[in-house]
A and B are shown apart, each in its own frame.
Chain A
């Protein structure tokens, strides 16, 4: 990724009259960390960056605090109302498409700068391999390797060792929606659900024991829910008190209720960006739940979330041909 090209494009974007601000990436406060940045003036543009360390999704920041303020009336659309500029990777663009299809955001309120993404680094993996790095580190990808520079020393690590698991099976590395695309389109991987198939082959007892072991350690910090670009409801069912669908007690049952509810609410909506699993402070493999739903949705309804903003969301549609042999 040519950073100068990225900055030039960002400059053009915030130079547009209708663009209020731009959401991008900047280097974080230490080591391998990356932080979101919200840019309103040209003076801040120099802080923009993009690298394989940019593992966080920025889409969430369009709808956070339960106010998808970017939903516009017809009049506003006509009067060229304000836009937010945002950098998106392939998965992020699918999240936007899905939200637009659900009428959570209007396409006209966004100025999308697409980044064809070769996959991002799993922070947990790189920090385990290079512990205690405080000074800012640089990472670039070259010929299937990550070139990592820490305090002027460079290290080469095969991409396979550090890339996030989600990115290993990414089918859509190139954004599907954009106003500008930075760089050439990339080929996606073929669909691969081997890991999910392995889980499916387990007996109910084995599955229960696997998930119990994983979900028992959940501390219900709700980082998975809050970081998910598709969790943008204004008021969440999990916060409801009357009735209280999920109790505040943290135990196997309530944790299961929380995670199953979360996964169900993402059925036909999850775009496999992997944010939930990335942010989990106790390492619960949440993508296994999401990918199981994704696989079922694909097999049963031949549907993939976020491919086209004009296609109605799966659960808003009914087709007489829909399979129903699972209905009791």
Chain B
């Protein structure tokens, strides 16, 4: 499809022409860059030196009311159909790929109307990673810093402008609404973008060959390495909540005397409570079983069920872990374990 050029100074004009959408974008809050609904475009941070976190909230919110109830009236379902069309702007290529991994889960035996409605109404506008982060290993998991997979539009930051590639019809619709701010890309722009893409891939420092990881995992369920890695884990939810491919949730009723609601909230397999039975028994009683399960889910069970690992190599679980539990190190050790 087509390619366009948008001058950086016209970015706000471009976004202004998309006012009918709810726009999510990265916003810098002190040292953290988080995806949020944008009310003022000035707040958007497209700083390529910051890795924004948690883009999945735009489609899979951390807290989602499913229905409300009270003593007098019948149950009232919340309808996802009322959602506005949404754009996630400035999403990284790895995060866009992650939605491709979330989709089959929510489309499965029991299609999930909340996720799917929002997903269908959401367009993803990516920004290519000119500067990969220290723990990026997307190239080891079939991705790359300029991947278009799952995206509707891909922006690349050139000197004074963005190079925009149209990837889907959804992307074309957006471009049509903002076309007055765009010019056609020239051959030299395309060349510059291709050079940046090549350079970026070369800057990725951490790699791992995952061939045969599933079979290897099948053979080392009872291995000393699980104790070794979990001994330093503090059992928080950072790795799973910052992971763009983790989708586990809990459902709970929150009620007062006369009214209440059922909500779905994210849950983390790293919490002891996650597998705690009503009887008090916990089939994953310690950090060892919980950390092992996280690795097995991502690099064995997901391959068994959907043919691909449940990881896009974004490295956030590594970067944000407070005690240096390092996924690449774990996977490398697994590969070499006997």
Contact = CB atoms under 8 A, between A and B. Distances in A.
Interface string A62-84: 00111000000000000000000
B322 A219 contact: no
Contact of B32 (A66, A134, A247, A281): A281
Contacts of B324: 28-29, 33-35
A217 B32 contact: yes
A212 interface: no
Interface stretch (B104-112, B127-135, B187-195, B297-305): B127-135
The 3 A-B pairs of least Cβ separation, nearest first, read A279-B322, A223-B236, A221-B237
Contact of A131 (B49, B235, B263): B49
B32 A250 contact: no
Contact of B34 (A65, A217, A247): A217
Nearest to B227: A38
A128 interface: yes
Interface string A125-154: 000100111100000000000000000000
A316 interface: no
Contacts of A66: 272
B287 interface: yes
B236 A249 contact: no
Given A29-B318, A34-B324, A38-B232, 14 more contacts: A29-B329, A30-B326, A35-B324, A60-B234, A132-B133, A132-B134, A223-B234, A227-B322, A249-B254, A249-B263, A249-B265, A250-B266, A279-B236, A279-B238
Given A34-B324, A65-B287, A227-B322, A134 B237 contact: no
B215 interface: no
Contact of A132 (B131, B234, B268, B322): B131
A223 B236 CA distance: 5
Contacts, number: 118
B250 A133 contact: no
A239 interface: yes
B322 A38 contact: no
A227 B263 contact: no
Given A248-B252, A282-B32, A282-B34, A219 B62 contact: yes
Interface in A23-51: 28-31, 33-36, 38
Contact of A30 (B206, B236, B286): B206
A281 B242 contact: yes
A227 B242 CA distance: 17
Contacts of A262: none
A221 B63 contact: no
A222 to B, nearest CB: 5
Contact of A251 (B63, B205, B329): B63
B328 interface: yes
A227 B236 CA distance: 8
Contacts of A34: 324
A204 to B, nearest CB: 23
B77 interface: no
B18 to A, nearest CB: 25
B53 interface: yes
Given A34-B324, A217-B32, A248-B263, A222 B271 contact: yes
B53 A281 contact: yes
Contacts of A31: 134
B251 to A, nearest CB: 9
A80 B98 CA distance: 54
Contact of B237 (A128, A217, A222, A283): A222
Contacts of A278: 322
28 contacts: A29-B324, A29-B326, A30-B206, A33-B326, A35-B232, A35-B323, A38-B232, A64-B235, A66-B272, A132-B131, A132-B203, A133-B134, A134-B134, A134-B206, A217-B34, A225-B236, A227-B234, A227-B236, A247-B254, A248-B252, A248-B265, A249-B265, A250-B63, A250-B266, A279-B234, A279-B322, A281-B32, A283-B31
Contacts of B268: 221
B241 interface: yes
Contact of A64 (B234, B263, B318): B234
Given A64-B234, A282-B34, A283-B32, A134 B205 contact: yes
A116 B331 CA distance: 37
A220 interface: yes
Contacts of B211: none
A86 B149 CA distance: 49
A169 interface: no
B237 A220 contact: yes
Contacts of A247: 252, 254
A56 interface: yes
A56 B29 contact: no
